Structures are given as C-alpha cells and as structure tokens.
Structure 1
Amino acid sequence: MQNRYAAHPNEVKNYDTSRLREEFLMEQLFATDELVTVYSHVDRYIVGTAVPQSKDIALEVNLKDIGTNFFLERREIGIINVGGHGTVTADGQGYEIGAKECLYIGRGVKEVVFKSSGKDQPAQFYFVSTPAHHTYPTVKATQEQAQPNHLGSIESSNERTIYRYIHQGEGGIQSCQLVMGITELDKGNMWNTMPAHTHNRRSEVYLYFNLPEDGVVFHMMGEPNETRHLVVRDRQAIISPSWSIHSGVGTSSYTFCWAMAGENQTFEDMDGVAMKDLK
C-alpha cells in the first residue's frame, strides 16, 4: 500500500511539478489482476482499484497498515465500476455491478471479493474507503437510482449532470462519513467546478475517466490566491485537501468520480471563491 501524507499549503506553494504529482496525483491505479491501494493521511482515505481478468481479487491488505483484523473492521467503502460488468461479493452475498453503478458496504463485513463477468471486457472497480463508527447496510445503486442534478450551460462550457449515490439526502445510500458520486460533462463541455470553491470541513478525491487516449484534464488545485495545476490522464486520481480548490478543464468532455469525507456530509457545505479572487 502506498502512503500519501498531509501537506501544509505554505509548503505546497513551493512545490515544483514533480513534487506536486508525487504528493497529490495517483497515476498508476488500474492494474490487471491486482489490488492497488493508496493510503492518504488526509482524512484517512484508502483509495484503490481491482481489475479482475483471469482471477478473482479479494479486498485484502497488509493488516499492519490499518491496524485491524480485516479491512472493513472499522471502515466503510464505496465502490463504482468504470469498466465491464462484474460482481462484488460481500460475506457471501453477490451484487452484480455494471458500468457507473455503485455499491456501498458498511463496517464489519469480513470478506469482499471482486469478479468480472467476462475476460474480454473486465470490470474495473474503483473504491474509496473511510473510517466508520457505525454499521450501515450494504446497498447497491444504479445510475438511474442516483439523485441527478443538471447544472451549467454550453455558453460557459460546463453543462453537466451530478449523480449522487452515497449521500444524506432523500433516496441516498446512508454512510458514516463517505459521500460519493459521479459527474458527467455533456458533449462539447470541458469545465468542472468553476467558479471554484473549497470546503474546509471536508477533503475530496477525484478520479477522471472516459477520456480519449490522447486527452488530458488540466486539474486546478491550491489555495485560491496560489493556484497550481496538474495534467491528469484517463483513470488517474487526485487527492484534494480541504484548503484546496478542485476544478479542471479538459481537452474534451469527460466523466469523474468524486468522493468526500471529513467533518460533515452536507453536499452543499462549501465556500465559494469569486472569479476575481483567483490568482
């Protein structure tokens, strides 16, 4: 398991591109027939992937890294499939998970196994796990069952739909602190989350996907008056600490999975940044 440590904004403003990428970007997440995990000391996320092609993959890590007897002993997890059809088994109960479908598994589940329905188009399971103090039931949600919110306009190149899966609102999957969903940009739109914001009570992780092979997203980060950018490619993820903006513009439209954790689960709790204050 890789480790990523928390960074002070006064230090980050002096980082060069290589250091920024080293600290915040997860470049090599999806590996066939392997469980890939990254432990972030920002709100104790574990971000990971499983791409089971020729074999099933169990959610097992070096237990010394998390100090428990099994992965979900004191954690919850949200899983979104960004590949072909597959199955996630939680303590013997199987859940078929298609593309852009979500499965939440609560604290206390001992065995989680990832499996693909076919080798030609294997499932690509992306997950985010956070500490949990209460047990909520395992729940699956399709994209049609998620809460949609259509925002933006083609005039500002940010027409998009936000699909909330794990959230406190009506119809949302309940969790201890994890909030998770997908944002899809309409064709011809490139910007997400601009005007920008921060939320000092929560951090966030972005996974960008559905980018063409030669496409990139210029992800904006940093304090509003000390912005930086990172070039992000398909199926790469960014850790966004609470003091940082998190926005991006792509060379084409794209989709991204967002996950938040921290002091509260209120999606609308954010501190807007006026365009005139960005530097």
Structure 2
Amino acid sequence: MRTVRILTSAVLAGASLFGLAGTAVADSPTPSPSASEGAEAAAPTEAGTSFRTATAIKPDQPATADASTGDYLYWVLPVDTRQRATVKAKVTLPAAAARHGAATWQLDVYDGLRRRQACVYGAQTRAAAKDAGSVELSCTLRTVRGWAEPWANDPLPGSYYVRLTVVDLPQEDLGLPVHADVEASVADQGGAHAVDGRLAAPLVPGAAAAASKDDEDASSPRPAALREPDGGWSSGRWSDRWIWTAAGGALAALAGIAGYRATRGRGRPSQLPPGA
C-alpha cells in the first residue's frame, strides 16, 4: 500500500508540474491595443519595389497592392525565435480578354541576410491559365532558430522579406494591371525548438544606421523594416523547455524512490531463528 501511495503522489506531482507549465505559457498577459496601435494596424495598400523599400506588415495583418504585371512587390515582417511563418498571397488577374496566354507567379521569402528560405509546405509557384480570374500562392517556412552555425542556412530571427512577382508570361501581357492580397501568420512552436545559443541581435538590416541617426534626431522615424514583434524580440529569453526539463527530473526522482521502496526487502527479522 505504501508503494501505491508513493506512485500516486508521483503522478499527482507530475500532473501539477505539467499544469504549471501550461499555465505559465497560456497566462501571459495580452496588452490592450491603444488608439495609436489601432491606427498603425490599418492594412497597407501598397507594396515596395525592392528590399530597401519593402512595405512593413505585422503578422496576421492583411496587405493589398495594385501594380502592373511584371513588377516586383515586396513586404517585410518580423519573425522571432521558435516561430514558424506562413505567407499567403492571392493575385487577381486582368480580364481574360486582355491577356494573351498563361502566366506563372512566384512567392519568395528571404531572411534578414537576404538569403532565400525554402518552403516546407505550400504552393510557392503556380501557373494561371489564360481564362483564370486569380492565382493563390502560399509558403510555410521552417521554424526560426535562435542560433545557427555560420555555414548553415537555418532561418534566424529578424526581418523576413516577401517577394511576389510573375516569372513567366507572354511579352504582350507585361504592364497589365493586377491586384495582390498578402497575409502572413506566425505560430509559436514552443520550447521544443529552443537552442542553447543565441544571436547578439536579430538580423534586421539597417539597425545600426538607424540607431546612430536616432542619436542625432530622436524624433526621426525608424525605417519600416526595423519594427519589432509585439512584446519585443524574445531571442535568448526564458523558454518553457526549462519547466518541462524540471518536471521530467522530478518525476524521474520520484519514480526512482518508488522503485527502490518496491524492490527492497520488507525489513530485517526481529530475531534470528533458533540455532542460527
């Protein structure tokens, strides 16, 4: 019975620790939006034409742009450690009567070092038939790491650039008007993707130049690409992996105590048998 009670206590202790881990992650306070944040959250209605002029967007913030077929359209958003980003784009094409054939559109995502990141899910390139009214693209990136080897191409925290353009079409269709809808979302993958190392700073191009400029003129606006995620960058901060590690260690210790008590003898006899 004592062994049963010990094992029951171990299970209850583990359950309470796991519940604490879930509570610590789920009960993080959500800041209330202010009036200025509401104005800032207005959906952008234009796109940049290069990395330097990319239009800044936030995760889950829709963006639109009217452009000409053949233009390169750029947006930029912050993606932090342990987040997996998914970018979706919809291109509304010109009327079929004005087009001369099929067109192939492509959605690319680059990190702060302008390295093209591979998509693990989604249709990154799609061909639209001559009579198609629109074409939809998507790209889900790998989970962003807090640190990587210099030779690796792992996605790292910082600015991520979205580029949308047509890559194949009849020459006569260049310049026709198109409408683009883009939206990016991020999902936190948790402490399972945490690593021990971390970057000294997120990969945000122009951060040093902007900092020196702000020293000269504190009222000058920062470049759009320098916007941080809500709550700031979390690279290298606390990870829920710590709680799961502590919970696993506590359960292992309790299980070891319970196993020892269950396998040892019932105690030494009160007296030796006669003739011993």
TM-score above 0.5, yes or no = no
**Larger strand proportion of the pair:** 1
Structure ID, larger Rg: 2
Length-normalised TM-score, structure 2: 0.29
**Larger helix proportion of the pair:** 2
Length-normalised TM-score, structure 1: 0.29
